[in-house]
């Protein structure tokens, strides 16, 4: 038997772990948001805090959840934020589309409700904007509605809807998976589109942290190369990774188990490669671009038991 000794020097820190590393993601997909989180303020059957399930909120607070991304996911590029503000009875009922699903969405969970959830959880909000079916103006208006302290029409509308103080949302995603469900862009076309969005968004809120859509290595390199002269418009590059090779939820084989562990290791390699590509393109620039692994997880065939 080999004996190993591990010494931990608790008084010699070598770095700081960002709380954002432990962030979470809530999408209008299945029962994640409706029923899973939101049951409505008028619900008399399920205990809730201002419409959010008390049992779920209590459980999430124990984790805790330092950052929460919403409303998607693929749903983000179908979502129009104005549908989710104002009196509930006046909100539009839309076709909720995400990952092939088509369900009724009454928009009762909107911007104000989501911000309230973040307050309940003491989480930093991260809003994902609509590039696929939206416009630059629409996303600029959402940023202004949420963050402006100037008494513009949008800021007054926010106040009339119950929130006189700005929400102060710092992190904004410029689309989601725009190489696929968010519009089937190629990397160069999205890079140009991102540059246009980011330029206009900076005028509305110079302090906003903007998250660009990344993918695999070739896309990321092309995106960064196309925006080589405008890297200061990028604060974070988003990448996603789901582990789908690990077999079923239950009754998996030993081989499938170790395949899943290998996928986890491959994800770390993916993050490192992305960081290296960013570093190579930045060169000696003082500006820094973070890697946002803002979607990841195990995707098993669901057990039907």
Q: β-strands 101-105, 124-129: how paired? A: unpaired
Instruction: Find out whether 77 and 181 touch, Cβ atoms under 8 Å.
Output: yes
CA distances from 95 to 29, 80, 106, 108, 125 (A): 12, 12, 9, 13, 25
The residue whose two tokens read 């065939």 is: 301
How does pLDDT run along the chain (305 residues), one tens digit per residue? 788 898 888 888 888 899 999 999 999 988 999 999 999 999 999 999 999 999 999 999 999 999 999 999 999 999 999 999 999 999 999 998 877 778 899 999 999 999 999 999 999 999 999 999 999 999 999 999 999 999 999 999 999 999 999 999 999 999 999 999 999 999 999 999 999 999 999 999 999 999 999 999 999 999 999 999 999 999 999 999 998 887 888 888 999 999 988 998 899 999 999 999 999 999 988 999 999 999 998 887 775 54
Contacts of 20 (CB under 8 A, 6+ apart): 66, 67, 124
Catalytic pick from 27, 113, 144, 177? 177
pLDDT value for 303: 58
CA angle 192, 196, 199 (to 5 degrees): 130
Nearest to 231 by CA among 169, 280, 182, 175: 280
Catalytic pick from 157, 209, 263, 295? 295
Respond yes or no: is residue 113 known to be catalytic: no
| Cβ count near 156 (within 10 Å) | 12
CA angle 132, 110, 207 (to 5 degrees): 70
Respond yes or no: is residue 295 known to be catalytic: yes
Instruction: Find out whether 142 and 169 touch, Cβ atoms under 8 Å.
Output: no
The pair phi, psi for residue 151, each rounded to 5°, is: -80, 65
pLDDT value for 15: 86
Tell me the domains of the chain and their CATH numbers: 20-281+289-298 (3.20.20.80)
Kindly state the DSSP code that residue 26 receives in the 8-state scheme. Answer: -
Number of alpha carbons in the 13 Å side-chain half-sphere of residue 212 = 36
CA distances from 50 to 85, 163, 238, 303 (A): 16, 15, 32, 33
Instruction: Find out whether 68 and 124 touch, Cβ atoms under 8 Å.
Output: yes
Q: Tokens for 149, please give them.
A: 């302290």
CA dihedral 112, 117, 123, 128 (to 10 degrees): -50
């Amino acid at each position: 038997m080999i004996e190993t000794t591990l010494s931990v020097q608790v008084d010699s820190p070598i770095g700081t772990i960002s709380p954002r590393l432990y962030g979470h993601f809530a999408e209008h997909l299945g029962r994640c948001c409706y029923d899973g989180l939101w049951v409505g303020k008028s619900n008399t059957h399920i205990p809730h805090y201002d419409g959010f399930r008390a049992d779920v909120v209590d459980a999430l607070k124990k984790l805790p959840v330092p950052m929460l991304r919403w409303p998607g996911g693929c749903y983000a590029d179908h979502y129009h934020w104005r549908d989710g503000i104002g009196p509930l009875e006046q909100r539009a009922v839309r076709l909720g589309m995400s990952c092939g699903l088509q369900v009724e969405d009454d928009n009762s969970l909107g911007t104000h409700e989501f911000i309230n959830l973040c307050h309940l959880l003491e989480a930093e909000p991260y809003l994902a904007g609509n590039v696929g079916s939206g416009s630059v103006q629409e996303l600029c208006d959402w940023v202004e509605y949420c963050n402006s302290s100037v008494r513009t029409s949008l800021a007054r509308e926010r106040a009339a809807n119950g929130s006189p103080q700005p929400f102060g949302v710092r992190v904004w995603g410029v689309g989601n998976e725009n190489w696929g469900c968010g519009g089937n862009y190629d990397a160069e076309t999205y890079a140009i589109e991102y540059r246009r969005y980011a330029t206009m968004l900076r005028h509305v809120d110079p302090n906003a942290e903007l998250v660009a859509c990344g993918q695999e290595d070739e896309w990321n390199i092309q995106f960064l190369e196309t925006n080589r002269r405008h890297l200061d418009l990028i604060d974070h590059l988003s990448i996603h990774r789901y582990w789908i090779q690990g077999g079923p939820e239950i009754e998996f084989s030993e081989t499938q188990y170790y395949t899943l562990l290998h996928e986890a290791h491959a994800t770390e390699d993916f993050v490192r490669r992305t960081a290296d590509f960013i570093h190579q393109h930045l060169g000696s620039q003082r500006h820094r671009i973070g890697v946002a692994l803002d979607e990841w997880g195990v995707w098993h065939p669901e057990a039907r038991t």
